Amino acid sequence: MECDLKALRMSPAFRSLLLPICQRPTSSVQLHNKLSLSSRSLLLSVKLKPLSCAALEAFDLNPISDLALSNVPNSETQLHEVRVNNGSSTNEEMVGSNVKTRPRVFNSKKRLIRYSGMLRTCVLQGSLNEGKAIHGQVIKNGIDPDLHLWVSLVNVYAKCGDCGYARKVLDEMPEQDVVSWTTLIQGFVVNGFGVDAVKLFCEMKKDGTRANEFALATGLKACSLCFDLGFGKQLHAEAVKLGFFSDVFVGSALVGLYAKCGEMELADTVLFCMPEQNVVSWNALLNGYAQEGDGKQVLKLFCRMTESEMRLSKFTLSTVLKGCANSENLRGGQFLHSLAIKSGCKIDEFLGCSLVDMYSKCGMAIDAVKVFRRIKNPDVVAWSAIITCLDQQGQCQEVAELFREMISTGISPNQFSLSSIISAATDLKDLHFGESVHAFAWKYGCESDISVSNALITMYMKIGRVLDGAQVFEAMTDRDLISWNSLLSGMHNHEICDLGPRIFRQMLVEGFKPNMYSFISVLRSCSSLLDVGLGKQVHAHIVKTSLDDNDFVGTALIDMYAKIRFLEDAVIAFNKLSNRDLFIWTVIITGYAQTDQAEKAVACFSQMQQEGVKPNEFALAGCLSACSRIAMLENGRQLHSMAIKSGHLGDLFVSSALVDMYAKCGCIGDAEDIFGGLDSCDTVSWNIMICGYSQYGRGEKAIEAFSTMLNEGTIPDEVTFIGILSACSHLGLVEEGKKHFDSLSKVFRITPTIEHYACMVDILVRAGKFNEAESFIETMKLTLYPIIWETVLGACKMYGNVEFGETAAKKLFELKPEMDSTYILLSNIFAVKGRWDDVSKVRKLMSSQGVKKKPGCSWVEVDGQVNTFVSQDGSHPRIRDIHLKLEELGEKLNSVGYIPETEDVLHNITEREKNEHLQYHSERLALAFSLISTNPPKTIRIFKNLRICGDCHEVMKLISDVTNREIVVRDIKRFHHFKSGTCSCNDFW
Ligand SMILES: [Zn+2]
Ligand SMILES: [Zn+2]
């Protein structure tokens, strides 16, 4: 992965991605051809996934035009017949300038009719080359076409896809009439050039040719092709004026136009004003409603249509099925299916596709497969329909199998089946399979298809092959918003997230208007970048595009702000959200938990429940972690009972969080109980327990748990070893510690971190092995890490090792001069030895460096409320009672022979003042408050931001004895459990 990413940084190809991308012009002819080729695929289910955009386009392009054309009793043929009957073929002008020199040949009428007939066959077979050959023959033989042959020539070019040449032939005609114009316009319509067809229609009128009913119908079809409702309405007026309104072709074309443009009321009116409705107009109207997703209306109209004894055609059935599919009306669809069987309608691949689509959209994949299996010779459209259906139902394995089956039957995949199979490969997360599908797309020439490329980009991004995805993007000649969004979607990994905003900018530069998906992706990049500046820019953009009230975008915004730890901004966006789901509540709760705002996290949690959102395991665990962070045991216990009630206790995620919460709150027994009840333990839960034991001074338990963990086959990770090494250090087990430290890298192949080295140093120095520690530090090249010297300095204070202590302190003054504890510990070491000169030197150094002692801060939870105390602070509302209690306790302690250890106080003041100073250490204020506000036998739990000082430790021990209360103090390093005058740390911390 890393290599890939490096390659990615270097890749010139990738860099060019960020340069303005020249859009190669794609000929519109190509595009239109592609679309008209795919118009059958309108029966494919339209996926609401981005990769199906081509399918949507094809769907939007009036699908009825094809059906209508194939259903109308061939209007051209009729036209020609009219022309032949009129028999006006005596014009004897020459074909063109090149044949002007040829001798005049008088043609028999029969010969001309034969040529026209041959040309008609060419049209039916769609063979342009044969048509051209016949045209050549006509010229070569010096035949002077009559009007009918002229029209046949225009027709062959127009219908076989060469509209430009058809136009040339028309221009060469000695005299154009409405039939030849109409033939040409029809050619443009058939080839999908609606705008050009409309232009031609206007040209015809300018030319003085009056439109007849066929010309008008063709003009209307052109309008519906390019959604030109305005011009269509003009034609409507003209039809009324010319008295063609009652013509069935004009009427059908009008219904088609209005239905296509979504003017359903107008379409409705026209249909029922027609003196006689035909199947084409009915189908046009049905199709309009089906596209609007108005399944009810489709069925209603269908019933009305069947009442009128109209013959039931498969086109009608397929249109009504589409209506059922779009409105997910399964019962309607099933009714039509049975109607089709009853009426003896053959379920061929055409009707089969519609049925597959209907069952697929109604979520009945099994029925869809059944219908598909009954289709005798499924074509690529039918295959695509079933493959898309199964892909949408998430049955990716089945999709892969069907795809193989399709290929083995010799059918080449099209862009729709390929897009679906790529999407299945994406869900399977199978890179190898995805790559082979990519090769298929390339083999079948579909790689350049925009929907296939988009699907490929998404696939590579989801599988994590960002470079491959970017390469597909670059190779595209034509990109749409989906292409950009697919590319953006992969840009949130930490190594490449900086590309996200750059791609976003480039996208704007190229004139694309970002949508919700673009914003969601770029916000993810911003949160990976932890760049709030960029995030706010994107936020401003979202407001500009009025997407700020979109819930999905809002959720992404909140997530981004929460991840960057800008909780206030997250909450502002959160309050704007209209629809707060569980996910977003969890984001906020976890956000509070991670920024140590546990009270707000808990408040948020209960508000969520009040608003009727049921918590899931993630919300619960998030809230529990908030409780463990600031040790809100009461709230934690409430969450525990909630987890029992909601049945989430069996969830490893929740139970691990509970174990963690109890362990962090110093209730090692409760943690043990829950841990013991777990069905299965993973590394995380074992780690919580091992580290919990270790911090709690139960080293033996930690070592025991570690060996059980290994026996059960759970693989330890780096955290496990921190727990086990600190346990060894605490127990003074030097050899065992060394053994574990060795196995870390040798057995478990874990690279030791600086924390592991610090643990090892701790093991050595705590055992008083300073020489060994010194050489360990040297050989392991650890001299530049402050944590190592902090560890050494702490032990030196304990052992009174002045020499090594000075070395450690000097190192720390260099590495971390701002750290207050170094000065305090060093001066303590000197004070113990009575070296007061050195004590005052250290003190001067400290003040000259501008270092101030970090104020001690302790907190206790009483009745679910957290009470915080800062050293020497008098702001608590019950401070008078607290002081009175401290005085009372002081007297009690004096009576049992307590002498304050004032060496920890680093102030140039008298012994009495020092004594008073000690009395107001934050943990003592917290203790006094707990004693006056709680009753025995409740354990008092105090949490402190620094290490507990030696004097307070002594006082806690004595008080636990004289008051007969258990006191737990969690300081920055570990737990001290004071009971009957002793501490669980054995005075070793
Ligand atoms: Zn203290
Ligand atoms: Zn202790």
- 619, 605 Cβ separation under 8 angstroms: yes
Ligand nearest to the CA of 977: 2
State how far the Cα of 773 lies from the Cα of 510, in Å rounded to an integer.
Answer: 63
Query: Residue 840: is its pLDDT beyond 90?
Result: no
- 736, 764 Cβ separation under 8 angstroms: no
For residue 22, the model assigns a pLDDT of 34
More confident residue, 888 or 5: 888
Q: Which domain holds residue 182?
A: 59-430
Instruction: Please write the tens of the pLDDT for every residue from 176-186.
Output: 888 889 999 98
Q: Among 94-103, 448-457, 569-578, which stretch is predicted with the lowest mean pLDDT?
A: 94-103
Pair (836, 963) in one structural domain? no
Pair (829, 926) in one structural domain? no
- For 60, residues 6+ apart whose C-beta sits below 8 A from its C-beta are none
Ligand nearest to the CA of 922: 1
Q: How confident is the model at residue 750 (pLDDT cuts 50, 70, 90)?
A: very high
* CA 985 to ligand 2 center in whole angstroms: 4
Query: Residue 60: is its pLDDT beyond 70?
Result: no
Contacts of 902-908 with CB under 8 Å at 24 or more apart are: 902/951, 903/828, 903/831, 903/832, 903/950, 904/824, 904/828, 904/949, 904/950, 904/951, 906/823, 906/824, 906/827, 906/828, 906/843, 906/853, 908/840, 908/843
* CA 877 to ligand 1 center in whole angstroms: 22
Pair (252, 391) in one structural domain? yes
For residue 645, the model assigns a pLDDT of 86
For residue 760, the model assigns a pLDDT of 95
Whether the bond into 937 is cis, omega within 30 of 0: yes
Pair (299, 399) in one structural domain? yes
Return the HEC string of 106-130. Answer: CCCHHHHHHHHHHHHHHHHHCCHHH
* CA 902 to ligand 2 center in whole angstroms: 18
Start-to-end CA distance of the chain, whole Å, equals: 43
- 824, 852 Cβ separation under 8 angstroms: no
* CA 884 to ligand 1 center in whole angstroms: 18
* CA 906 to ligand 1 center in whole angstroms: 12
Is beta strand 940-944 parallel, antiparallel or unpaired with respect to 967-970? parallel
Instruction: Please write the tens of the pLDDT for every residue from 818-836.
Output: 888 899 889 888 888 888 8
State how far the Cα of 405 lies from the Cα of 384, in Å rounded to an integer.
Answer: 12
DSSP 897: T
For residue 909, the model assigns a pLDDT of 54
For residue 267, the model assigns a pLDDT of 86
* CA 952 to ligand 1 center in whole angstroms: 4
State how far the Cα of 32 lies from the Cα of 473, in Å rounded to an integer.
Answer: 23
State how far the Cα of 105 lies from the Cα of 987, in Å rounded to an integer.
Answer: 125
Query: Residue 236: is its pLDDT beyond 70?
Result: yes
54, part of any domain: no
**753 dihedral zone (left: phi>0; alpha: psi -120 to 50; beta):** beta
Ligand nearest to the CA of 921: 1
Pair (122, 266) in one structural domain? yes
Q: Among 326-340, 643-657, 902-916, which stretch is predicted with the lowest mean pLDDT?
A: 902-916
- 473, 487 Cβ separation under 8 angstroms: yes
Q: How confident is the model at residue 914 (pLDDT cuts 50, 70, 90)?
A: low
| Residue in 498, 567, 559 with CA at minimum distance from that of residue 529 | 498
Of 145-159, 266-280, 284-298, highest mean pLDDT: 145-159
865-889 average pLDDT score: 87
Query: Residue 773: is its pLDDT beyond 90?
Result: yes
Which secondary structure element, helix H or strand E, spans residue 866, and what is its range?
A: strand 865-870
Pair (822, 842) in one structural domain? yes
Q: What are phi and psi of 712, to 5 degrees?
A: -80, 0
Ligand nearest to the CA of 918: 1
Is beta strand 975-979 parallel, antiparallel or unpaired with respect to 967-970? antiparallel
Q: How confident is the model at residue 905 (pLDDT cuts 50, 70, 90)?
A: low
Query: Residue 44: is its pLDDT beyond 50?
Result: no
Q: How confident is the model at residue 769 (pLDDT cuts 50, 70, 90)?
A: very high
Pair (301, 181) in one structural domain? yes
* CA 889 to ligand 2 center in whole angstroms: 20
Pair (240, 351) in one structural domain? yes
Query: Residue 804: is its pLDDT beyond 90?
Result: yes
For the record, the structure tokens of 861 come out as 């939870």
Ligand nearest to the CA of 975: 2
Share of the chain above pLDDT 70, in %: 87
Share of the chain above pLDDT 90, in %: 26
State how far the Cα of 207 lies from the Cα of 229, in Å rounded to an integer.
Answer: 23
Q: Among 224-228, 245-249, 384-388, 621-625, which stretch is predicted with the lowest mean pLDDT?
A: 245-249
State how far the Cα of 5 lies from the Cα of 177, in Å rounded to an integer.
Answer: 67
Strand ranges of the sheet holding 865-870, from the earlier edge strand across to the other edge: 865-870, 857-862, 940-944, 967-970, 975-979, 982-983
- For 288, residues 6+ apart whose C-beta sits below 8 A from its C-beta are 255, 258, 259, 260, 262, 264, 267
Q: What are phi and psi of 344, to 5 degrees?
A: 75, 20
Listed residues 807, 831, 848: the one ending a domain: 848
Query: Residue 40: is its pLDDT beyond 50?
Result: no
* CA 987 to ligand 2 center in whole angstroms: 5
For residue 139, the model assigns a pLDDT of 86
DSSP 976: E
What's the predicted TM-score (pTM) here? 0.58
CA dihedral 198, 204, 205, 206 (to 10 degrees): 110
Pair (807, 887) in one structural domain? no
693-710 average pLDDT score: 92
- 323, 298 Cβ separation under 8 angstroms: yes
Listed residues 399, 430, 461: the one ending a domain: 430
75-94 average pLDDT score: 38
Query: Residue 98: is its pLDDT beyond 60?
Result: no
Ligand nearest to the CA of 923: 1
Say how many domains are in the chain: 3
For residue 959, the model assigns a pLDDT of 93
Rg (CA), the chain: 42
* CA 836 to ligand 1 center in whole angstroms: 21
Query: Residue 53: is its pLDDT beyond 80?
Result: no
82, part of any domain: yes
CATH number (domain holding residue 788): 1.25.40
More confident residue, 80 or 845: 845
For residue 692, the model assigns a pLDDT of 92
For residue 755, the model assigns a pLDDT of 94
Q: How confident is the model at residue 913 (pLDDT cuts 50, 70, 90)?
A: low
Q: How confident is the model at residue 705 (pLDDT cuts 50, 70, 90)?
A: very high
**What is the average pLDDT score of the chain?**
82
Query: What residues does 867 pair with on adjacent strands?
Result: 860
For residue 92, the model assigns a pLDDT of 36
82-109 average pLDDT score: 43
State how far the Cα of 968 lies from the Cα of 94, in Å rounded to an integer.
Answer: 113
| Residue in 899, 965, 896 with CA at minimum distance from that of residue 930 | 965
Ligand nearest to the CA of 957: 2
* CA 954 to ligand 1 center in whole angstroms: 9
For residue 41, the model assigns a pLDDT of 33
Listed residues 430, 461, 482: the one ending a domain: 430
* CA 657 to ligand 2 center in whole angstroms: 26
492-496 average pLDDT score: 77
920, part of any domain: yes
* CA 984 to ligand 2 center in whole angstroms: 6
| Residue in 668, 675, 619, 670 with CA at minimum distance from that of residue 648 | 619
Ligand nearest to the CA of 987: 2
Pair (834, 966) in one structural domain? no
Query: Residue 276: is its pLDDT beyond 70?
Result: yes
State how far the Cα of 176 lies from the Cα of 319, in Å rounded to an integer.
Answer: 38
Return the HEC string of 254-304. Answer: HHHHHHHCCCHHHHHHHHHHCCCCCHHHHHHHHHHHHHCCCHHHHHHHHHH
382-409 average pLDDT score: 87
* CA 956 to ligand 2 center in whole angstroms: 9
Ligand nearest to the CA of 917: 1
Strands, E assignment, 688-736: none
More confident residue, 271 or 49: 271
* CA 986 to ligand 1 center in whole angstroms: 17
Query: Residue 148: is its pLDDT beyond 70?
Result: yes
State how far the Cα of 516 lies from the Cα of 535, in Å rounded to an integer.
Answer: 15
State how far the Cα of 881 lies from the Cα of 22, in Å rounded to an integer.
Answer: 78
| DSSP per position, 581-644 | -HHHHHHHHHHHHHTT-HHHHHHHHHHHHHTTPPP-HHHHHHHHHHHHHHT-HHHHHHHHHHHH
For residue 13, the model assigns a pLDDT of 40
Instruction: Go through 696-724 and write b for each residue having 16 or more CB atoms within 10 A of its CB, e for each that does not.
Output: bbbbebbbebbeebbeeebebeebbbbbb
* CA 950 to ligand 2 center in whole angstroms: 9
DSSP 876: S
- For 230, residues 6+ apart whose C-beta sits below 8 A from its C-beta are none
- For 480, residues 6+ apart whose C-beta sits below 8 A from its C-beta are 53, 450, 454
* CA 690 to ligand 1 center in whole angstroms: 28
144-151 average pLDDT score: 85
Q: How confident is the model at residue 99 (pLDDT cuts 50, 70, 90)?
A: very low
- Please name the amino acid found at residue 498: D
Query: Residue 943: is its pLDDT beyond 80?
Result: yes
* CA 966 to ligand 2 center in whole angstroms: 13
For residue 540, the model assigns a pLDDT of 93
Ligand nearest to the CA of 955: 1
Instruction: Please write the tens of the pLDDT for every residue from 114-144.
Output: 888 888 888 888 888 888 888 888 888 888 8
Q: How confident is the model at residue 872 (pLDDT cuts 50, 70, 90)?
A: confident
* CA 983 to ligand 2 center in whole angstroms: 5
* CA 872 to ligand 2 center in whole angstroms: 23
27, part of any domain: no
Which secondary structure element, helix H or strand E, spans residue 342, and what is its range?
A: helix 330-342
* CA 945 to ligand 1 center in whole angstroms: 12
| DSSP per position, 72-84 | S--HHHHHHHHHH
* CA 931 to ligand 1 center in whole angstroms: 17
Query: What residues does 866 pair with on adjacent strands?
Result: 861
State how far the Cα of 725 lies from the Cα of 247, in Å rounded to an integer.
Answer: 94
Q: Which residue has the tokens 């190192």?
A: 811
904, part of any domain: yes
Query: Residue 16: is its pLDDT beyond 80?
Result: no
300, part of any domain: yes
| Residue in 467, 474, 501, 498 with CA at minimum distance from that of residue 1 | 467
494, part of any domain: no
Crossing angle of the two packed helices 786-799 and 754-766, in degrees rounded to 10: 10
- Please name the amino acid found at residue 287: N
* CA 950 to ligand 1 center in whole angstroms: 7
Q: How confident is the model at residue 650 (pLDDT cuts 50, 70, 90)?
A: confident
Pair (923, 803) in one structural domain? no
For the record, the structure tokens of 2 come out as 């890393």
More confident residue, 557 or 112: 557
202, part of any domain: yes
| Residue in 308, 363, 374, 371 with CA at minimum distance from that of residue 336 | 371
State how far the Cα of 713 lies from the Cα of 678, in Å rounded to an integer.
Answer: 16
Query: Residue 58: is its pLDDT beyond 60?
Result: no
Ligand nearest to the CA of 853: 1
Query: Residue 331: is its pLDDT beyond 70?
Result: yes
Query: Residue 268: is its pLDDT beyond 90?
Result: no
* CA 905 to ligand 1 center in whole angstroms: 9
* CA 244 to ligand 2 center in whole angstroms: 103
Pair (808, 908) in one structural domain? no
For the record, the structure tokens of 628 come out as 């463990």
